[in-house]
Amino acid sequence: MEQHLLGTDFQNPVLLAAGTCGFGQEVSEVVELDRLGGLVTKSVTLEPREGNPAPRVAEFRGGMVNSVGLANPGARAVRDRRLPWLRDRIRRARVLVSVAGHTPEEFVEVIRILDDADGFHAFELNLSCPNDTRRGGLPFALDPAEAARVVEGAREATQRPLVAKLAPNTPDLAPVIQAVEEAGADGFTLVNTLPGLVLDPETGRPALGAGAGGMSGPALRAVGVHAVWRARSCTRLPLLGVGGIARGPDAAQYLLAGASLVQIGSASFWDPRTPGRVVNWLKGYLGRQGAGGLTELVGSARIPGSSPPTPDSR
């Protein structure tokens, strides 16, 4: 189950996704974090954010929508109060810090504030959060040139690995992947939530306080698996698959499509034991497949007309 990726060893491929586990401490009493491959913190912005009005989460038959609004204490508070907890308590799981901003300069400033701190290994650049609308214009992930500007600035500000988180509603992934890879990214997370809207049929009002939000859960899984498969056809960088993983077979689909790591999000809300069960299922799956290691399964799906490149383990 162990893999060497992004300059470090992951003991297994299962991580907690950004926005679903806070900064680790919030879920540490119900999730054995050091049993997992790692976790991604909630997105950190330059200044503190209160987030969007309640209700922030609503369920529907195929999953859930959320509009948290990137609520977080801000980069300096994360550096001073949240990262020390991770430094002192997490030993085997790898920590990625999610970073968000309204401009490329804000991403860079957050990274500069956090970069010298202990307690984490890499940055995940949140280029695609559909709830962060203050920028005006397209999300970074839908604009290859702007996404590249974010990554170029981040690359100049840190030597840590940079993982770019992309959007599921990008019409063509290839241009943004090429631009971001050339700008210095070390890997990609696919996918973020899809824009979604749930309405109350009796009142005609949205279920979320902010109106629209990001859709996640089982309904997103096929979109995410397809995005990973498409991304694998145009890059050798490591891919992290996320979206709709609730069981071991869900995670296996992402691995077969080309992801080296997977992230579990909404399912951990419904049952915090889900990540551990997925780890256990994947161990048995490797044995049943007769694979000598996880890397033998990554990208091995037999899809007509598809011959993706071999992932790069750097």
List the catalytic residues: 129
Task: Tally the residues of the chain.
Answer: 314
Residues 6+ apart with CB under 8 A from 203: none
- For residues 125 and 151, is the Cβ–Cβ distance under 8 A? yes
Q: Concatenated DSSP letters for 216-242?
A: ESGGGHHHHHHHHHHHHTT--S-EEEE
129: three-class secondary structure by DSSP: coil
Query: What angle in degrees, to the nearest 10, is found between the helix axes of 274-289 and 248-257?
Result: 60
- For residues 238 and 254, is the Cβ–Cβ distance under 8 A? no
306: exposed, middle or buried (C-beta count within 10 Å: 0-12, 13-18, 19+)? middle
- For residues 162 and 155, is the Cβ–Cβ distance under 8 A? yes
Residues 6+ apart with CB under 8 A from 64: 57, 58, 215, 216, 217, 266, 269
308: three-class secondary structure by DSSP: coil
How many Å is the Cα radius of gyration of the chain? 18
The Cα 96–Cα 94 span in angstroms is 7
Q: Concatenated DSSP letters for 60-84?
A: ETTEEEE-----B--HHHIIIIIHH
What are the DSSP E strand ranges found in the chain?
3-5, 8-10, 14-16, 38-40, 57-60, 63-66, 94-99, 122-126, 162-165, 187-190, 194-196, 213-216, 239-242, 261-264
The Cα 74–Cα 71 span in angstroms is 9
